[in-house]
Structure 1
């Protein structure tokens, strides 16, 4: 146990060379077996406070240690593997203690501490229902920061080149600076060079990163090369070489061609333009992934009940049953990308056939298709939103549902109106943070911001774009 920080008493690399059976722990996150105060103090205090303990004694501290030791031998959640870039962490030489961001810690350690306080006679408010107590702990966890931290950590493992197509706006530059300084990605800034350099100077962003103005003479050769490629691809669809050259002066067309030609790995745009005007060039130049007939978008809402994915929030106005099933399956893949097992409610104004309306029946038909094509996917409907989200109400009324005993974390809405209105209501009335819209089904990592997105929202979307690029790289 070499606990000196930032430099252990003996460097980790030197220590492990000395003998094959050596097990080493340090205080550093970039080595195995990080011993971090956050594994103990917060959870000891939590357990002590929840039973109104008169003191923290040795029995309580020992209980915390034993709980950590027990947790280290349990299967590790996928989101922890993802955050640390591991295929599968298992108890052994390089994993003798849980990772500090393990979401199970809060439900594992405080109950052990609280029980020890009760058994040693220092608790003044005993806990009677331990299952209820664990649920309360999980709901108190603050999952928003955990998910965002996981996103950033995963992006940092293998950062990618990200085009910021509207970099001559202050908030976009601020976001690019955070992405650069946090190691989330390598920004490529598009826009008027003098404005971009002025904004960079204003915020003290002096990194040596690419700044490109598609309209400048400096980019003439590249514009012509991109225009030639674009023209040849669409010469039988009414595009002339001259019109192709003119389009390459427009930053979203230029950025899309950069992505197509391997001059960048991911792209975010949409800060200063309406959504449809940005989607159009992306679909024209980049197109959909293999076996995908249409794209869709999902928003991750960070709510008080935990993460909630809402689809389709931006693209498909009135999808039919087949399209709804495809939207659900694509959303499930995104949910898994966050290390979460999807539990999907296909929502409507009707509950399991209570209406014969065409609007309700298309949702019902989509569910049938999903059950047939994806038998292992936890999805059901049609059902009303309150039944989808209220587990007790749903399970008592519809005990036959595939969702029984499960907490729904994904809602697929029957049309764009309902999905878009719902996510914006959640955002404004409940102050729920939103990550998205996350584009699904594109051939390349393209993500389109909401008009006037905040700095944090742009940074989050850049992290999503990097993770998307990492995932697409795996399936090449």
Structure 2
């Protein structure tokens, strides 16, 4: 298509609206943490059984932490007066953002959260509302409330209630920035007690950063704060009480004057506020935090043009050293909730900043390397702040915060065994956070060309556009131009969107692919003219020939036809790898665990020999994805009870694996609850797999298909796949009517496979 216009967004307005409206509108729901399947369950949950904890709480309010969700429940509160970068759009307009914050609490720290929008622009109204409902929650996260009201509201609520009150726009940024400052000073060989710091911006975040800098050791007179009118100096008129607290005696009146000779500049202001000439005037080894979003005060490449000795951080994910509040707030609240802290005090904030800084200095373990796409980051100028997907955050920050709460006397439930506490925190980690992130980080560097076979299908098209706009690689659509233009309009784009298309009207490629296919199939009774027809009439065949002939690196197909029909086409056009069986493998990701399930889609009733090959290949894929495979061969029996002809087939596969002397743990035959539930370990102490499996080999396609589809619809987790394992080319097949997100994941896996898995 002719290139006339590039979209800057990573999605269209319509796609963003569709995301929020599809299924249940919004992003959160409330589910019961208890089984409510019988009348007895209902009687215990509500009347009359609920009266018992009610009476206990009335006698001792602290027991509410034991008998209700209070201890793991945070309210995200806003009046919409400072929504993201959109300004004062009102309480109701802030609800999508607050729901999103609640989702992040759950995903990253397993904290239940509910959004509360207060329809008032009066600080006293908000204080009264929040203080009246505070007893329901373990903590309050204030969000997107404009200054100076945010200062007043937070301070007054801290005086009125005995749970943590935390305005993340202030303190989250401050904590992450302070962590970065600690490490940047260490790398540049400067002392926190001697550095000269300029803060450009005097809003909530800037003031919070300045206060935490000082609480971390920076002398008061060493920090110069600037607002739109220039330097905030002692004696300047019209300065409010929050700014005046940071006024200093100085002759400097402009940012340009203040920044001369400075060691550090922190920008929390606006794009372009800092110039190259200002950077030139700074001291040796300058530290620049340009945190305005989405466009920083000065781009890192502009800094490096004039200062190759600079250490730079921004608020953006496409540069090193991202100052991202997601590194902080979920884990800070996790630690505060776990000790039932009365407040989040300065000691806890400093402890969080120091813990984050320390984490960036430590040797990076393999699971973090996976989240960085295979590259091992090293502490230095381009790695002073850990990744948001570092799985160690869940143990490092809450532990530091909890200890600080205990030591500073605000913990109502001190932790006695911190080693056991760390184990509990690790169990909360959602492994899906890093899984696709690691794959996507890897493929961004290689920019593979991936074919999307159903080019005009709206879900496939949205996935292809996302693949391009997120920088994951280059999509190629098999599509008819006219039909594609119609689909583009339906999803909110015009026909000038720059994306590559291909189809059988390309005479040269048609001939090339026909010759490839005929050479492959001529001894299987297929005539040349039949190959020509297959290439020109079937887009799956066309796309697979593109990959096989090196015109593309991988493909994702399916979505508009049955899975088996697509697999049959691929088995003919590319076939399986030598000495490998073709099968489907799904990943089921639920809280605290990722399970690989095979064969879900290809072999109807695998023999013992086929089960062995499926187990070996599944273990190989598990290792590639970063898991230590523990393989359970499933059956309707467990270790011979009950014994039938069908169970013998699975037991024989286990015996054959023993003879193959494979290098992964396995066992069977066993029922799925035995494989997954640790309570059975005492019943079968001789097995290392019981209650510990992460790879499940299903006895038949019927059992696998039913199980995975039920998990997808009812299980509460996420199913990724099925991945097509054993195919001779990196091609994945999306099940019929997959969502754009599911197709995008498969496209990423195809790109990853083309680089990692040796075909």
Q: Structure 1 length as normaliser, TM-score?
A: 0.88
User: Matches of residues 320-469 of structure 1 in structure 2 within 5 Å?
Assistant: 320-373=607-660, 375-391=662-678, 393-403=679-689, 407-469=692-754
Unaligned runs of 5+ residues in structure 2 are: 1-286
Q: Which of 501, 520, 523 does residue 236 from structure 1 map onto?
A: 523
Q: Which of 33, 39, 56 does residue 344 from structure 2 map onto?
A: 56
Corresponding residue for residue 164 of structure 1 = 452
Q: Which of 487, 498, 508 does residue 208 from structure 1 map onto?
A: 498
- d(CA) in 1 for partners of 2:656, 2:305: 57
Over 3 Å counting, the alpha-carbon distance change for 1:381 and 1:222 in structure 2 is: same
SS at 2:556's partner residue? strand
- d(CA) in 1 for partners of 2:659, 2:603: 23
SS at 2:603's partner residue? coil
- d(CA) in 2 for partners of 1:247, 1:201: 30
Over 3 Å counting, the alpha-carbon distance change for 1:207 and 1:82 in structure 2 is: farther
Over 3 Å counting, the alpha-carbon distance change for 1:75 and 1:183 in structure 2 is: same
- d(CA) in 1 for partners of 2:300, 2:317: 16
Over 3 Å counting, the alpha-carbon distance change for 1:97 and 1:221 in structure 2 is: closer
SS at 1:397's partner residue? coil
SS at 1:345's partner residue? strand
User: Matches of residues 106-121 of structure 1 in structure 2 within 5 Å?
Assistant: 106-121=394-409
Structure 1 residue 121 displacement after superposition: 1.0
1:297 aligns with 2:584: yes
Q: Which of 137, 152, 158 does residue 425 from structure 2 map onto?
A: 137
SS at 1:242's partner residue? helix
Over 3 Å counting, the alpha-carbon distance change for 1:187 and 1:371 in structure 2 is: same
Contact 2:443–2:752, Cα closer than 8 Å, also in 1: yes
Corresponding residue for residue 557 of structure 2 = 269
- d(CA) in 2 for partners of 1:236, 1:268: 28
Corresponding residue for residue 3 of structure 1 = 289
Contact 2:562–2:736, Cα closer than 8 Å, also in 1: yes
Q: Deviations over 1:372-394 (max 9, x none)?
A: 44543122222211111111x23
Contact 2:430–2:590, Cα closer than 8 Å, also in 1: no
- d(CA) in 2 for partners of 1:118, 1:156: 43
Report which structure shows greater RCO (CA 8 Å, sep ≥6).
Answer: 1
Q: Pairwise CA RMSD of aligned residues?
A: 2.7
Over 3 Å counting, the alpha-carbon distance change for 1:16 and 1:329 in structure 2 is: farther
Q: Deviations over 1:194-228 (max 9, x none)?
A: 101221233216432222232xxx32332233223
Q: Deviations over 1:367-423 (max 9, x none)?
A: 3333444543122222211111111x232112221236x743221111111111111
- d(CA) in 1 for partners of 2:685, 2:306: 57
Over 3 Å counting, the alpha-carbon distance change for 1:68 and 1:364 in structure 2 is: farther
SS at 1:2's partner residue? strand
1:184 aligns with 2:472: yes
Contact 2:428–2:592, Cα closer than 8 Å, also in 1: no
Corresponding residue for residue 756 of structure 2 = 471
Contact 1:2–1:10, Cα closer than 8 Å, also in 2: no
Q: 67-76 vs 337-346, which deviates more?
A: 67-76
Q: 168-177 vs 344-353, which deviates more?
A: 344-353
Corresponding residue for residue 311 of structure 1 = 598
- d(CA) in 2 for partners of 1:470, 1:167: 24
- d(CA) in 2 for partners of 1:73, 1:357: 57
User: Which of the two has higher C-alpha Rg?
Assistant: 2
- d(CA) in 2 for partners of 1:367, 1:460: 33
Q: Deviations over 1:29-59 (max 9, x none)?
A: 5555555433333322221122221222333
User: Matches of residues 246-265 of structure 1 in structure 2 within 5 Å?
Assistant: 246-249=533-536, 250-265=538-553
Q: Deviations over 1:216-250 (max 9, x none)?
A: xx323322332233223322221112211111122
Structure 1 residue 450 displacement after superposition: 0.6
Over 3 Å counting, the alpha-carbon distance change for 1:81 and 1:200 in structure 2 is: same
SS at 1:239's partner residue? coil
Q: Which of 225, 238, 243 does residue 512 from structure 2 map onto?
A: 225
Structure 1 residue 13 displacement after superposition: 4.7
- d(CA) in 2 for partners of 1:16, 1:273: 56
- d(CA) in 2 for partners of 1:3, 1:248: 55
- d(CA) in 2 for partners of 1:53, 1:140: 20
- d(CA) in 2 for partners of 1:210, 1:26: 35
Structure 1 residue 437 displacement after superposition: 0.7
Over 3 Å counting, the alpha-carbon distance change for 1:378 and 1:30 in structure 2 is: farther
Structure 1 residue 359 displacement after superposition: 2.3
SS at 1:350's partner residue? coil
Q: Deviations over 1:273-307 (max 9, x none)?
A: 11222111211121122331x21111111223422
Q: Deviations over 1:94-113 (max 9, x none)?
A: 55543221112112210221
- d(CA) in 2 for partners of 1:303, 1:164: 28
User: Matches of residues 37-48 of structure 1 in structure 2 within 5 Å?
Assistant: 37-48=325-336
Paired residues, number = 464
Corresponding residue for residue 151 of structure 1 = 439
Structure 1 residue 337 displacement after superposition: 2.9
Contact 1:25–1:35, Cα closer than 8 Å, also in 2: no
- d(CA) in 2 for partners of 1:224, 1:427: 42
